[in-house]
Amino acid sequence: MRNNSGNYVNFYKDILMFNLLRIRGDFVHISKKVIFLKEAKIQHIQVTRNIVVHRKTGTGINEGNIVCLNNDLGLIFVDAGRVTQDAKKFRAEMEKKYKKKAEYLILTHNHGDHTFGAEAFKDLPIISSQKAYDDYYELEKEGKLSKEYRQGFINVMKEKAAKGEFELSESWHKDFATNYLAATLYPPTLAISDEMKLGSPEQQILFKVIGGHSDCSAYLYYLPEDILIAGDNFNCDHAQNSGCMLAGMNDKGIAILKLFEDLNPKKVIPGHGPVVEKDYIRTSRVYFSEMFAKLKELKEKGVSLGEASKHPGLPNFFEDKKHRQWDHIMSSWYSQL
Ligand SMILES: [Zn+2]
């Protein structure tokens, strides 16, 4: 696979990275993989007068968006990304821009690509769902948040690479491994079991626990400007992403997309990827609904996974039609039907 500047980079399946970021230590899906890699690029997307999104692309690693929301309580940040330095810079720039202090960090869920940058907000209340709060302490109890555990994981990765089982890119060493080991983790300080409203009635933000992508997932809705902050229940621009949403998609995920549509937002800020219009959610939902209907039909007819994943009757949604983790995604969908 070639990018515009002609660089080739060897890497391994993103699903591993996803597991790694969740600190689950699942090595099952390691394989050789070549992926698209550009220079790391940071964009600040001004979504409305009061909302700015920090988006990082091009590292070859799945980067979660960080959102800054200006309301009458001060600045509220949603998710912290994976890299503390990025989050610190973004916070400082937003405090300068709005001439206000940051007051809260709210987490959409407890996955490392959204939480490892939390050190940048360690002086603030950190709000999450009750489940995300419980997960944090469970992982800590299991020792899976310690630096030793992380170092062990990195060592195993390097050993496997040395044996030729897969190749690690320069960005893996420079960006991922370095930041993964360096991160000091901060637990949520306030847990919400169902929903919470923050701010005056004119500037209110709704935080709502919904599950889906992970049991601990929540979304946020900024009522005065009708902006949905979806977390990983909705990701866009699959070429930049690791299939967080795709591989985990199921009937519950489709129902959540319908709920998001019904909220009727003016703009949608996904967990990963660019800010989009509401219609993108509808297109995704229709795609997934048609895909599952077709796959169910094929499975009932006894069609094998190999044949089903190449079946001409499957709907197309993405421009290049196939996600780079297509085989993994298909087997995950097919087995759950
Ligand atoms: Zn994510």
d(CA 248, ligand 1 centre) in Å: 12
**pLDDT given at position 250:** 83
Q: Hey, CA dihedral for 8, 11, 15, 19, is it positive or negative? A: negative
Q: What pTM, to 2 d.p., does this model score?
A: 0.85
CATH code 3.60.15.10 for 9-242+265-279:
yes
| Of residues 107 and 253, more confidently modeled | 107
Q: What string of DSSP letters covers 285-317?
A: HHHHHHHHHHHHHHHHTT--HHHHHT-TTS---
Q: How far apart are the CA of 114 and the centre of ligand 1, in A? A: 6
pLDDT band at 25 (very low <50, low <70, confident <90, very high): very low
* Residue 209 pLDDT greater than 50, yes or no: yes
In degrees to the nearest 10, what's the CA dihedral of 217, 179, 242, 89? Answer: 70
pLDDT digits 0-9 by tens, 99-115:
999 999 999 999 888 99
What pLDDT sits at residue 225? Answer: 94
Distance (Å) from CA 64 to ligand 1 centroid: 5
Is 90 exceeded by the pLDDT of residue 20?
A: no
Q: How much is the pLDDT for 57?
A: 80
Average the pLDDT over 201-223 and give the result: 94
pLDDT of residue 238: 59
Lowest mean pLDDT among 124-133, 213-222, 231-240: 231-240
* Ligand 1 centroid – CA 318 distance (Å): 19
Token representation of residue 152: 């062990």
Model confidence pLDDT, tens digit, residues 272-314: 888 999 998 998 888 889 989 999 999 999 999 999 988 988 8
The alpha carbon of 21 and the centre of ligand 1 are apart by a number of angstroms equal to: 9
Distance 272 CA to ligand 1 centre (A): 6
The confidence score (pLDDT) of residue 324 equals: 62
As a whole number, mean pLDDT of residues 4-24 equals 31
Which residues lie below 8 Å from residue 219, measured CB to CB, with a gap of 6+?
108, 207, 208, 210, 228, 229, 230, 231, 233, 260
- How far does the centroid of ligand 1 lie from the alpha carbon of residue 232, in Å? 5
Residue 183: predicted pLDDT: 93
Span from the CA of 135 to the centroid of ligand 1 (angstroms):
16
pLDDT in tens, 112-161: 889 999 999 999 999 999 999 999 999 999 888 889 988 988 888 888 88
| Residue 243, pLDDT above cutoff 90 | no
How does pLDDT run across 29-69, given as a tens digit for each residue?
A: 333 443 334 467 899 999 999 999 999 887 666 789 999 99
Domain ranges of the chain: 9-242+265-279
* Per-residue pLDDT tens over the stretch 65-87: 999 999 999 999 999 999 999 99
Residue 227 alpha carbon to ligand 1 centre in Å: 19
Distance 148 CA to ligand 1 centre (A): 24
How many angstroms does the Cα of residue 189 sit away from the middle of ligand 1? 21
More confidently predicted of 7 and 103: 103
Question: 307: CA distance to ligand 1 center in Å?
Answer: 30
CA of 109 to the centre of ligand 1 (A): 9
Q: Say how many Å lie between the CA of residue 201 and the centre of ligand 1.
A: 30
Asked whether 91 and 205 are in contact (CB, 8 A), the reply is: no
| Ligand 1 center to 65 CA (angstroms) | 8
Q: Who has greater pLDDT, 239 or 162?
A: 162
Give the SS3 label for residue 78: strand
Ligand 1 centroid to residue 309 C-alpha, Å:
25
Per the prediction, the chain carries an average pLDDT of 82
How many angstroms is it from 308 CA to the middle of ligand 1? 28
